[in-house]
Structure 1
Amino acid sequence: MNFPKLQITKSDIKLDMKIHDPIQRISQPSPKQTIEQPAGKLEINTTKGSIDIDQSQAWKDLGLLTPKESVLKYVADGRQAVLQGISKTVREGRQMMVSSGNGQGRSIVANIAKQNHGPHRVAMNIKFIPSAGAVKIDYTPSKVDVNYSPQKPNIDVQINNPTHDYQPGKVTHDIVQRPSIEIDFIE
């Protein structure tokens, strides 16, 4: 017995596909930035120092006096010398008056001359000139005040937005062959 046979012919679909890739462009422009730094404020205030040196006592110790002091000293020394001279003259006159009646004669004048013109002892000593503490120094130091105030920087930034350009991709297709199924009976 012959059974009928079934013959199936099938054809697949055939497509022609074209793919266009998407295009994307992204760019970020650089920001614009300006920075400005103002100079700080600096103030310096000073007061002058002073030094006072008083050496008048040292000059006096050395025998150097101001004109006024010199005149006063010479007046006092002159007065003292005059008084000593008067005293000496009176003393010698009194000595001659008292001794003249005793028969000494010329020996009185010789004795007075010996008193006036004999070897005199000179006092010797070491003297430190000027004396300690004769020069007085008064020092006032100077003062310096420094004031500094910094200034804040000025910063200006302009941010630029990114630019984005996008073209989507495409897929195009054409059917070259359509699918089909053919069934035949073969006996």
Structure 2
Amino acid sequence: MRLPQVRLQSQQALISIETERAQVQMQQPKATQEIQQPQAEVTINTTPSRLTIDQSQAWYDMGLKSVKQAHQDEAKRGYQKVLEGIARRVNDGNEQMKIENGGAPLITQAVRHAYKPEKQFNIGWIPSTFAVKTDYQPAEVDIRVNVNAPMIRNTPNKPIMSYSPGYARTGIRQENDLQVDFEPLVFRNFQFEMSI
């Protein structure tokens, strides 16, 4: 006798999912910027330097004088000589007036006036030291700077965005299935069939 047998064969359902990602595209244009820098205003005022050289004393020491100066110097020297002559004569007269004090004033005066005194010699410099006088006034520079501020114009640009939404599609890739196979029970030569 054979026992009946039941065979089950099943198949699970399968789901299919198809997706596409969302896409975002962004572009950020640079800001529009304009910069202008006006030039600074510079004003320069210069007073020139001045150099004065006075060498009249050097020319004077070398005997190179103007006519006017030569006349003045000779007049002073003549006046001085006149005063010296008057003083010498007064002195000689006083010596002769006091002859009672003894001595021989006339002989002494004759010897003194007969011989001129020796000339004194010494080293000198022509022209004299520091005869040339200089005077220097340095230049003056006045600088004025007027700074102009830069002019800046800035225009921001909005970002450019594009968006593609994503999606998900679902479906059944394989349907579920159940198959039942039944083998009937056999008694002696009887056959019994049963199907579901």
Q: TM-score, normalised by structure 2?
A: 0.56
1:129 match: secondary structure: coil
Aligned runs of 1:104-143 on 2, under 5 Å? 126-143=123-140
**Offset, 1:185:** 6.7
Runs of at least 5 residues in structure 1 that lack an aligned partner in the other structure = 88-120
SS of the residue corresponding to residue 60 of structure 2 reads: helix
Deviations 1:93-115 (A, max 9, x none): xxxxxxxxxxxxxxxxxxxxxxx
Partner residue in 2 for 1:33: 33
Deviation, structure 1 residue 136: 1.9
Unaligned runs of at least 5 residues, structure 2: 86-117, 185-196
Q: Name the count of aligned residue pairs.
A: 154
CA–CA distance in structure 2, aligned partners of residues 126 and 158 of structure 1: 90
Match of 1:64 in 2: 64
Distance 1:19 1:126 in 2: 122
**What is the letter of the counterpart of residue 139 of structure 1?**
Y
- RMSD over equivalenced CA pairs, Å: 3.9
Quote the offset at 1:56 in angstroms.
Answer: 1.9
Q: 1:146 aligns to what?
A: 143
Tell me the residue number matched to 2:10: 10
Report the Cα offset of residue 167 of structure 1: 0.8
Kindly, what percent of the aligned residue pairs are identical? 32
1:126–1:8: structure 2 CA closer, same or farther, 3 Å change rule?
A: same
The aligned residue for residue 48 of structure 1 is 48
2:167 to 146, 163, 170: 170
SS in 2 for 1:38: coil
Letter of the 1:25 partner, please give it.
Q
Q: Based on CA coordinates, which of the two structures has the bigger radius of gyration? A: 2
| Residues 30-39 or 10-19, more deviating | 10-19
User: Which amino acid in the other structure matches residue 19 of structure 1?
Assistant: T
Deviation for aligned residue 1:142 = 1.5
Secondary structure (helix, strand or coil) at the match of 1:44 reads strand
